[in-house]
Structure 1
Amino acid sequence: MKQKLHVLCLIMGQNQKPNLHCHYWLLSSLTLVLLNISFGSCFDTISTDKALRDGEILVSRDKTFAMGFFSPGRSTSRYIGIWYNNLPQQTVIWVANRNTPINDTSGVLSINQHGNLALHHNHSILPIWSTNVSVTPSDTNKVIAQLTDIANLVLILNDTKTVIWQSFDQPTDTLIPHLRLGFDRGKDQSWVIQSWKTDDDPSPGDFTLKFSTNGMPQLFLYHKNLPWWRGGPWNGEFFMGIPNMKRDNNIFNVSCEEDENHAALSYNTYDKSVPSWVVVQQSGFFQVFTWDNQKNQWNRYWSEPTGQCDNYGTCGPNSNCDPLNYEDFQCTCLPGFEPKFPRNWYENRDGSGGCARKKGASVCGSGEGFVNIEGLKVPDTSVAIVKEGLSLEECEKECLRNCTCNAYSVADIRNGGSGCMTWHGDLMDIQKLSDQGQDLFIRVDSFELAKYYKRPRLFGKNKLVTALVAFMLLVLLLVSSVYYLWKKSKNKEKMMWDLNHDSPREENDVQSKRHPNLPLFSFKMIMAATEKFSPDNKLGQGGFGSVYKGHLFDGQEIAVKRLSKDSGQGIEEFINEVRLLVKLQHRNLVRLLGCCLEKEERMLVYEYLPNKSLDFLIFDEVRRSSLDWGQRFKIISGIARGVLYLHQDSRLKIIHRDLKASNVLLDAVMNPKISDFGMARIFGEEQIHASTKKVVGTYGYMSPEYAMEGRYSTKSDVFSFGVLLLEIIAGKRNTNCEKGRAASLIGYVWKLWTEGRALDVVDSTLGQSYPPEIALRCIQIGLLCVQESINNRPSMLEVVFMLCNEAPICSPQKPAFLFNGNLDMKDSSTSGGGSSVNEVTVTTISAR
Structure 2
Amino acid sequence: MKQVIIIFFFSLICFHNSLAADDTIKPNQTLQDTGQTLVSTGEKFELGFFSPPNSKNRYVGIWFKNVSDLTAVWVANRGNPLTDSSGVLKITETGNIIIHSNKTEDPIWSSNSSAKDPTLQLLNTGNLVVKDGSNGNYTWQSFDHPCDSLIAGMKLGKDFITGQSWKLTSWNSLQDPSIGTYTYESDPRRLPQVLLLKGQDIAYRNGPWDGVQTGGDNPLQENAVFKPSYVVNETHVYYTFENADNSTVTRFWLNPSGSPGQLRWNQENENWVSIYTMQRDHCDTFARCGPNGICDSSDNRLDCHCPTGFVPKVQEEWDAMDFTSGCVLKTRLNCSESERFKKFSRMKLPYNSEFTVNGSVVRKEDCELICRRNCSCVAYAVARLAGCVIWSADLLDMRHFSDGGQDLYIRMAASEFVTGSNKSKKIVVIISAILGFILLCVVGGCLICKRTSCCLISQEGTMTPTHLEEDVELPLFGFDTIANATNNFAFTNKIGQGGFGLVYKGVLSSGQEIAVKRLSKDSGQGPVEFKNEVTLISKLQHRNLVRLLGCCTHREERMLIYEFMPKKSLDLYIFNQTRDTALDWKKRFNIIAGIARGLLYLHRDSRLRIIHRDLKANNILLDSEINPKISDFGLARILLGGDQTDINTKRVVGTYGYMSPEYMMDGHFSVKSDVFSFGVMVLEIVSGKKNRRFEHPDHNLNLLGHAWKLWIEDRPMELIDVLMENVPVAEVLRCIQIGLLCVQKHPEERPLMSSVLFMLDSDNAVLPQPKLPGFYTERTFIETASSSSSSLNKSNNVSTGVTVTTLQGR
Normalising by structure 1, report the TM-score.
Answer: 0.47
Normalising by structure 2, report the TM-score.
Answer: 0.49
